[in-house]
Amino acid sequence: AEPPAFAEDCGPLRPVVESLLRQDPAERPDFEELRGWLRSLIRSAPEPDGDFAGLPMPEPDPARLPVVRRRGDLHGRHRNPAAPRRPRSLGRLLLVGVLVLLTGGVAYAMLFLPRAADSGRQPTAAQSPAASAPGPGSPQQGPASKPAQTPGRTPGGAPESKPAPQGDAPAPEGYTVQQDPAHFSIAVPNGWERQSLNEAGQVRYTQGQFTLIVVPGRDRVEGGDPDPLGYQKDKEPELAPYRNSTWASGGDVKSTRVGQQLRVTGRYTWIDAAGRSLFARNFVVALGGAYHVVMVTGPEDNQDKVTDVFEKATASYKAGG
pLDDT in tens, 297-306: 999 999 999 9
Q: What is the pLDDT of residues 176-190, one digit of tens each?
A: 998 888 888 999 999
CATH of domain 159-319: 3.40.1000.10
Q: What is the pLDDT of residues 67-86, one digit of tens each?
A: 666 665 555 555 666 666 66
* Alpha carbon distance 238, 215 (integer Å): 9
More confident residue, 77 or 142: 77
Residues 6+ apart with CB under 8 A from 178: 161, 162, 163, 164, 185, 186, 187, 188, 194
Range of lowest pLDDT (79-88, 190-199, 276-285):
79-88
Q: Are 180 and 151 in contact (CB under 8 A)?
A: no
pLDDT for position 66: 67
More confident residue, 70 or 245: 245
Mean pLDDT of the chain: 77
pLDDT for position 136: 43
3-state secondary structure of 176: strand
Model confidence band, residue 50 (pLDDT cutoffs 50, 70, 90): low
3-state secondary structure of 62: coil
- CA distances (Å), 194 to each of 70, 158, 174, 198, 292, in order? 118, 10, 16, 11, 18
